[in-house]
Amino acid sequence: MKTKITEMLNIEHPIIQGGMHYVGFAELAAAVSNAGGLGTITGLTQKTPKDLATEISKCNDMTEKPFAVNLTFLPTVTSPDYPAYVKAIIEGGVKVVETAGRNPAQVLPYLKDAGIKVIHKCTSVRHALKAQDIGCDAVSVDGFECGGHPGEDDIPNMILLPRAADELEIPFVSSGGQADARSLVASIAMGADGMNMGTRFMCTTEAPIHQRVKDAIVAASELDTRLIMRPLRNTERVLNNKAVERVLAVEKEKGSEIQFEDILEDVAGVYPKVMIDGDMDIGAWSCGMVAGLVHDIPTCKELIDRIMAEAEQIIESRLKYMLEATA
């Protein structure tokens, strides 16, 4: 399937694995890229720029195909050494960067000068237009269904994607609620040039996370996520567990007086314990509503091949048949 995104990124299939904290390691990124999609290393999971350089080198040893690095710009008092992370990305020969969080304008000149394509993750049309204005090559339009941070507008993809198509001139991919061939065909019908999957790729053989995390997602339904940190305007969609229930109870008790410190223990620094150690109730961790569509744990190649085969079937059989029936 050829789209503006496959041509821009030099990939076979319009499927991107999004950056995910303590999930997006070289093993997963290489597996996705080798299967014809675009795999992504999560930059800030690597504690230092030197660690990121090592992870990029590892991925280069595992695939000859393009892969991305996610670089999230955090609203923190003590920022990571972003120039050093960017240097590691450039020197590692990375061809694509997925930026997220705050405006990436500070690093764009360096990435663009190195010939790197930049995809910025946005949760609203206005943010997507800003990304276009500052020179991003494409955007990932992240609907309210997504795991992680869906923004504060609460617009689902059935509205957000067509609105993005109406306004944007640069290519975009859908993100949030994407799981299978139906997701891909629907996204393309609404104007996207591909799709970005996060939670779905967590449930693959190569995802280097604890089996208990994968099993929890497979067992979950679309009703099992919760939104936390809404009073702080830092909303995050997470899979419900004991820690999430504690956070929600504190938010209810504190109301508008809540401070981040009130929930710090249940939301900060928990990812290694969840993803690596499999401690499922130690803290809140991101998961999309799309868990309700995840029923197995295939290899990345099996998953991508299945999506593309079923997408072709939907287009050639179901949609084409509908047109022929009305002719």
Number of domains in the chain: 1
CATH number of the domain that residue 50 is part of: 3.20.20.70
Residues 6+ away with beta carbon under 8 Å from 115: 95
Q: How far is CA 266 from CA 39, 156, 235, 249, 272, in A?
A: 29, 27, 14, 12, 13
Residues 6+ away with beta carbon under 8 Å from 37: 11, 12, 13, 15, 16, 17, 300, 304
Q: Which amino acid is at 249?
A: A
Place of tokens 């868990």: 291
Please tell me the predicted confidence (pLDDT) of residue 321. 80
Please tell me the predicted confidence (pLDDT) of residue 327. 62
Q: 83 lies in a domain?
A: yes
Please, what's the b/e burial string for 235-266 (b: 16 or more CB within 10 A of its CB; e: otherwise)?
A: bbbbbbbebbebbbeebeeeeeebeeebbeeb
Q: How far is CA 36 from CA 11, 14, 68, in A?
A: 6, 9, 13
Angle between helix 181-189 and 300-313 (nearest 10): 50
pLDDT by 10s per residue, the chain, length 327: 999 999 999 999 999 999 999 999 999 999 999 999 999 999 999 999 999 999 999 999 999 999 999 999 987 767 899 999 999 999 999 999 999 999 999 999 999 999 999 999 999 999 999 999 999 999 999 999 999 999 999 999 999 999 999 999 999 999 999 999 999 999 999 999 999 999 999 999 999 999 999 999 999 999 999 999 999 999 999 999 999 999 999 999 999 999 999 999 999 999 999 999 999 999 999 999 999 999 999 999 999 999 999 999 999 988 888 887 666
Please tell me the predicted confidence (pLDDT) of residue 318. 85
Please tell me the predicted confidence (pLDDT) of residue 324. 79
Please tell me the predicted confidence (pLDDT) of residue 75. 74
Please, what's the b/e burial string for 88-109 (b: 16 or more CB within 10 A of its CB; e: otherwise)?
A: bbbebebbbbbbbbeebeebbe
Residues 6+ away with beta carbon under 8 Å from 80: 44, 74
Q: 116 lies in a domain?
A: yes
Residue 181, number of CB atoms within 10 A of its CB: 17
Q: 155 lies in a domain?
A: yes
SS3 314: helix
Q: 189 lies in a domain?
A: yes
Domain that residue 202 falls in: 4-208
Residues 6+ away with beta carbon under 8 Å from 56: 26, 41, 69, 88, 89, 92, 93, 94
Q: Are 127 and 102 in contact (CB under 8 A)?
A: no
Q: 218 lies in a domain?
A: no
Residue (of 2, 21, 17) closest to 238 by Cα position: 21
Q: 58 lies in a domain?
A: yes
Residues 6+ away with beta carbon under 8 Å from 139: 119, 120, 121, 122, 128, 131, 132, 164, 168, 170, 172, 173
Please tell me the predicted confidence (pLDDT) of residue 174. 98
Q: 64 lies in a domain?
A: yes
Q: 110 lies in a domain?
A: yes
Query: What are phi and psi for residue 33, nearest 5 degrees?
Result: -65, -40
